[in-house]
Homo-oligomer: A and B are copies of this chain.
Amino acid sequence: MSFQFHLTKTDKEVGARLGKIITAHGEFETPAFIPVGSQAAIKSMTSDDLMEIEVEIISNNSYHLYLRPGHRTIEQLGGLHRFMNWNRPILTDSGGYQLFSLGQLREISVDGVIFQSHIDGSRHFISPEMAIEIQRSLGADIIMSLDECIPYPVSHEYALRSTSLTTEWARRCNETLRGNGQALFGIVQGGMFEDLREKSAKELREIGFDGYAIGGLSVGESREVMYRIVSHTVPHLPREKPRYLMGVGKPEDIINAVMRGIDLFDCVIPTRNARNGMLFTSFGKLVIKNACHATDERPIEEGCGCYTCRHYSRAYLRHMYMAREILALRLNTIHNLYYYIHLIKGLRKAIRRDRLQDFCKEWKKKREERDEL
């Protein structure tokens, strides 16, 4: 089954959309949230844990997997799905973001990027063609073109040059042979400049991709700037293709971006925050280490259907966290991922029933009832 996107509904009042993505490893509705499993695992989770939470698609990271265990090793072992025992859709990032954030960058040219591994300092070169080759070996259902992730803030001049490079790389990625049924998404860059975002989107459209990502956001700019750029970019993306806001974000960011017509999100926030003891609830965040939870028999959130809330009290979770027990990481991750998946399902339902604005109002209202925590 080759990749398909069906737009099933667009909200009458705002730009929010309902859709369906079909891949060789199953289908899922959009908007969708993609938990991040950089090194071929959502930290602390087995596939069964993820399926219980009804995770529908996960992401993996080419940069990490290229360095360790090596994309050829994973290919030899039958590809990522088999390697990590995950038979549902997978998206791999090209590693653009990690090249610029983790790798020690040595040289960037139109050819590609020379960088040093963050693991052992070894020297590597990745070109747009290689980024696709790596992702072909990994065998994900959705793969990403190589982009330069523009630092923030930068001059218009730098951003223009970088955006042109990203377009050139995107063109070469698109011309490189990819695996059977693999969808390739282009990544819109352009920094915080509307004209460059527009230029990037248009150039990518001309090349033609299976989906369009907005990259280079959530890099330190204010929330207002981020929403401004999303609002400005979306109208320049084709209606009939999925739109993916990379690396975003907090629950409120996801809601706001869904309102603006975004279909896909990935973010480390639910999983990373879980490991730091920061838990999401309808009433806002709960910091599990706080002393007030020491003898609290309630679950993280009353009525939450996750495994953690069905079996463990705040008191136990606080003890696990304070005692630095590994189980804390896992139980917290289960809850936070459940919260995100549940939120996105709520958004879908609200769009379907033409009550998205009410949903958002109710969501915000609950947040203000902090006493319930």
A108 at the binding interface (Cβ < 8 Å): no
Once the chains bind, are B311 and A47 in contact (CB under 8 Å)?
A: yes
A219 at the binding interface (Cβ < 8 Å): no
Once the chains bind, are B327 and A45 in contact (CB under 8 Å)?
A: yes
Number of interface residues of A (CB under 8 A): 39
Closest B residue by C-beta to A328: B41
Contact of A319 among B45, B68, B326 (CB under 8 A): B68
A222 at the binding interface (Cβ < 8 Å): no
| Chain B residues whose C-beta falls within 8 Å of the C-beta of A125 in the assembled complex | none
Once the chains bind, are A322 and B46 in contact (CB under 8 Å)?
A: no
Closest B residue by C-beta to A44: B326
A21 at the binding interface (Cβ < 8 Å): no
| Chain B residues whose C-beta falls within 8 Å of the C-beta of A48 in the assembled complex | 307
Once the chains bind, are A85 and B312 in contact (CB under 8 Å)?
A: yes
A23 at the binding interface (Cβ < 8 Å): no
Q: How far is the CB of A58 from chain B (nearest CB, A)?
A: 13
Can you list, as one digit per residue, whether each of A68-92 has a CB less than 8 Å from chain B (1) or not (0)?
1100010011100001110000000
Contact of A77 among B40, B45, B47, B295 (CB under 8 A): B295
A243 at the binding interface (Cβ < 8 Å): no
| Chain B residues whose C-beta falls within 8 Å of the C-beta of A44 in the assembled complex | 326-327, 330
Once the chains bind, are A73 and B295 in contact (CB under 8 Å)?
A: yes
- Which of A44, A73, A312, A319 gathers most chain B CB within 10 Å? A319
Once the chains bind, are A307 and B46 in contact (CB under 8 Å)?
A: yes
Please report which residues of chain A, range 292-346, place their CB below 8 angstroms from some CB of chain B when the two chains form the complex.
294-295, 297, 307, 311-313, 315-316, 318-320, 322-323, 325-327, 329-331
Closest B residue by C-beta to A73: B295
Once the chains bind, are A77 and B43 in contact (CB under 8 Å)?
A: no
Q: How far is the CB of A209 from chain B (nearest CB, A)?
A: 31
Given contacts A73-B294, A294-B69, contact A329 B327 (CB under 8 A): no
Q: How far is the CB of A334 from chain B (nearest CB, A)?
A: 9
A interface, CB within 8 angstroms of B: 39-41, 43-48, 64, 68-69, 73, 76-78, 83-85, 294-295, 297, 307, 311-313, 315-316, 318-320, 322-323, 325-327, 329-331
- Pull 21 A–B residue pairs with CB atoms less than 8 Å apart, ordered by A: A39-B323, A40-B316, A41-B325, A43-B327, A44-B326, A44-B327, A45-B327, A46-B331, A48-B307, A68-B319, A69-B294, A69-B315, A69-B318, A69-B322, A73-B295, A77-B295, A77-B313, A77-B315, A84-B316, A326-B330, A330-B330
- Known pairs A73-B315, A76-B295; list 20 more (Cβ under 8 Å): A39-B319, A40-B316, A40-B319, A40-B323, A43-B325, A43-B327, A46-B311, A46-B327, A46-B330, A68-B323, A69-B294, A69-B318, A73-B294, A77-B295, A77-B297, A83-B313, A83-B315, A83-B319, A85-B311, A85-B316
